């Protein structure tokens, strides 16, 4: 099942109609940001199917809590090397919820004969060999429905100062597989922030944005995202993330988390 098939996507010109099942909803009553980033890349690919995903910058304006949604694609720039597209999501009432910018690169214009030699070293990873032995399944807070946990089966373990989150992507990897990296990266943002919040204190900390850059093809449905909370100041947390496929680094990113007052 491709990402487009998973979202039951159909188009009318530049507008796509998407089914965002409750299975990919998170703790805040709407579609998880990683699923929206994945959908943004999936529909953007249709404009230039011969190009690969180089990056995505996505902002979550408000929660997308409806199962049906639309995505409007606008080509901002398209040249020999890259295409930049804006993807705007709306819920079934027409309210804007999410805005993403997707960068697609043309392989034919790139020097693919030059290869990096340090993709297996990373700043935060790679995942330790005993990760799955030590990782613990995510637990749901009492009385809180978090369907994405049942869908992706996340498991987490501490790796030094970072936290590694292993996830299972619910669709098949196609093309360069960047959609799966989006889902893994977004799910990794919360645990390192939660880990530095004083024990016994519940502080909501949603991330209103996510920026990712893709380093190589993602082929398997089992990914590990390692994330580190760099700093919390003035109610804002900065989280760095790396997505790994076994011992290969496939994406790197950064996001902001908001430590919300409950008053």
124-163 pLDDT tens trace: 888 988 888 889 999 877 777 889 999 999 999 999 889 9
**Structure tokens belonging to residue 235:** 């109610």
Answer whether residue 165 shows pLDDT above 60.
yes
Q: Which pLDDT score, from 0 to 100, does residue 115 have?
A: 63
Answer whether residue 167 shows pLDDT above 60.
yes
Distance CA 233, CA 251 (A): 26
Q: How far is CA 240 from CA 134, 135, 212, 253, 257, in A?
A: 22, 20, 10, 6, 11
Answer whether residue 54 shows pLDDT above 80.
yes
Q: Which domains does the chain carry?
A: 3-107+125-258 (2.40.160.210)
Distance CA 93, CA 163 (A): 38
Question: Confidence class of residue 43 from pLDDT cuts 50, 70 and 90?
Answer: very high
Chain centre distance of CA 15: 22
From 63, 90, 70, 102, select the one nearest 207 (Cα to Cα). 63
If one counts every other C-beta atom within 10 angstroms of the C-beta of residue 119, the result is 15
Q: Which pLDDT score, from 0 to 100, does residue 203 have?
A: 83
238-258 pLDDT tens trace: 999 999 999 899 999 999 999
Answer whether residue 116 shows pLDDT above 90.
no
Distance CA 244, CA 223 (A): 6
Distance CA 47, CA 110 (A): 19
Query: Region 195-210: what's the mean pLDDT?
Result: 86
Distance CA 25, CA 41 (A): 18
Query: Region 199-213: what's the mean pLDDT?
Result: 88
The string of DSSP letters for 86-147 reads EEEEEETT--EEEEEEEEEE-GGGS-TT---S-TTT-SS-PPPTTHHHH-EE--PPTT---H
Specify the residue for token string 């109609």: 17
Alpha-carbon torsion, ordered 45, 51, 54, 59, to 10 deg: -20
225 Cβ neighbours under 8 A, 6+ residues apart: 164, 165, 167, 184, 185, 187, 188, 241, 242, 243, 244
Per mean pLDDT, which range of 73-77, 111-115, 118-122, 162-166 is the poorest? 118-122
Query: Do 223 and 166 form a contact (C-beta atoms < 8 A)?
Result: yes
203 Cβ neighbours under 8 A, 6+ residues apart: 197, 259, 260, 262
86-107 pLDDT tens trace: 999 999 999 999 999 999 999 8
Highest mean pLDDT among 116-125, 128-137, 163-172: 163-172
* Mean pLDDT estimate for the chain: 91
In terms of Cβ atoms closer than 10 Å to its own Cβ (0-12, 13-18, 19+), residue 154 is buried
CA angle 49, 50, 52 (to 5 degrees): 90
Question: Confidence class of residue 212 from pLDDT cuts 50, 70 and 90?
Answer: very high
């Amino acid at each position: 099942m491709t990402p487009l098939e998973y979202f039951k996507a159909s188009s009318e010109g530049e507008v796509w109609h998407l089914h965002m099942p409750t299975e990919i909803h998170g703790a805040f009553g709407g579609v998880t940001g990683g699923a929206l980033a994945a959908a943004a890349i999936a529909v953007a690919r249709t404009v230039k199917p011969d190009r690969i995903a180089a990056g995505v910058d996505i902002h979550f304006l408000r929660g997308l809590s409806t199962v049906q949604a639309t995505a409007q694609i606008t080509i901002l720039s398209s040249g020999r090397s890259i295409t930049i597209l804006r993807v705007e999501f709306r819920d079934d009432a027409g309210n804007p919820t999410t805005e993403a910018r997707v960068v697609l690169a043309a392989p034919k214009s790139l020097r693919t004969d030059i290869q990096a030699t340090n993709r297996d070293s990373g700043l935060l990873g790679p995942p330790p060999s005993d990760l799955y032995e030590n990782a613990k399944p995510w637990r749901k807070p009492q009385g809180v429905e978090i369907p994405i946990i049942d869908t992706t089966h996340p498991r987490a373990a501490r790796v030094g100062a970072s936290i590694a989150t292993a996830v299972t992507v619910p669709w098949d990897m196609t093309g360069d597989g960047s959609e799966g990296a989006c889902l893994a990266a977004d799910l990794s943002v919360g645990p390192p922030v939660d880990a530095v919040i004083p024990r016994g204190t519940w502080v909501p900390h949603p991330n209103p944005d996510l920026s990712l850059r893709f380093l190589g093809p993602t082929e398997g449905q089992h990914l590990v995202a390692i994330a580190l909370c760099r700093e919390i100041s003035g109610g804002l947390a900065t989280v760095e993330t790396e997505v790994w496929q076994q011992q290969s680094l496939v994406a790197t990113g950064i996001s902001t988390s908001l430590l919300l007052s409950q008053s």
